[in-house]
Amino acid sequence: MGLCLLHTPLARNSCAKLFRQRLLAPTAPPLIYYSKTWSGAPSQPKGNRMTRLLLLAAVLVASLAASNADAGNFTIEATSRRALRQASCTSWCAGKASGLYANPCDTTCNSFFNCANGVTNKVNCAAGLRFNPSIKVCDWASNVPCSGGSPSPSPKASPSPSPKASPSPSPKASPSPSPKASPSPNNGGSVLYSGSGSGTYYFDIKTTCPSEPRGYPETDGYPSCASWTPGPNQQTLRQVNTNNVVAIDNNVLSANRAKLCGKKVLVYRNGVQVKAPDGGDFFVWDGCAACIGGGRIDFSVSGLKSVSADGCNQGVVPGVSWQVVDVQVRQFVP
């Protein structure tokens, strides 16, 4: 047999919980309800049937009120959790190195994050494509397994499932002096060296930016891949006569001239491939001291304007990634 005091709201709430337990366990001993008299001593059990019914109704009302309060608390907690997940997606790049990352908040794999100095920029791939984290470009859906499945044609009315907690992709380390080949991208040739960050310019054989009408002295200088032996292969950038030249991390190139000079470069802006300004392909033919560390790549003015039409005004164009692949575009003579 259980005792239930009804003289305070707290006591009545406890009685409500005890009553619910008795409902779930009908074989439990019955409850006897006490009210408190003005003298402070508990009165005897109520024998009147009408009184017992009134007390039972009071317990039921208190029980329903407690259940509604619990449900309200659950709704508030669920809303808070959803808001926390959304906030973590908008600040996902905080503390991460600049570059392109798969969007762990997107179960369709149709978007990615372009992290720039800790700022999170979400970029959507074109319809039918998915972001491929292994080569950091928007790729055909058949090449990118995605646990979330293909994007639905219209958003569902119900809330989307919360993304699975998976380890965040760690920032890429600075490239080593001896880059290793990785699997071949769609455009052929294994990847010898890759990076992401920003693009700049340093020469041009045809044009200049409006603020630099006199041109660039580097245009008449010898690039890192020029032959060290005087002769027809020891040419300045002007003599090479193309704006498709790309300059990469000087430390990486210096240690691997024979392996990297003249190799094809795939250039992307926010995951979309960029065409070389003079037709054909971009290729490695120079080293860049400002590019050491792998966060920058140097173009001709024309090359940077292919990346961004406003390249002259920007000077430094973000959202650029690149891959040097094992395809020889220009013959290298040491």
User: Could you read off the pLDDT of 196-243 as tens digits, one per residue?
Assistant: 999 999 999 999 999 999 999 999 999 999 998 888 989 999 999 999
Domains of the chain: 2-89 (no CATH), 95-153+161-171 (2.170.140.10), 191-328 (2.40.40.10)
Asked whether the predicted pLDDT for residue 44 surpasses 90, the reply is no
Least confident of 97-111, 259-273, 316-330: 97-111
Averaged pLDDT for residues 106-115: 86
Asked whether the predicted pLDDT for residue 40 surpasses 70, the reply is no
The reported pTM is: 0.49
Report residue 175's pLDDT band, with 50, 70 and 90 as the boundaries: very low
Residue 19 near residue 63, CB atoms below 8 Å: yes
Residue 328 near residue 262, CB atoms below 8 Å: yes
Distance between CA 267 and CA 264 in Å, rounded?
10
Return mean pLDDT, the chain: 76
Provide the 10 A C-beta neighbour count for residue 279.
8
Distance between CA 56 and CA 258 in Å, rounded?
91
Distance between CA 36 and CA 59 in Å, rounded?
16
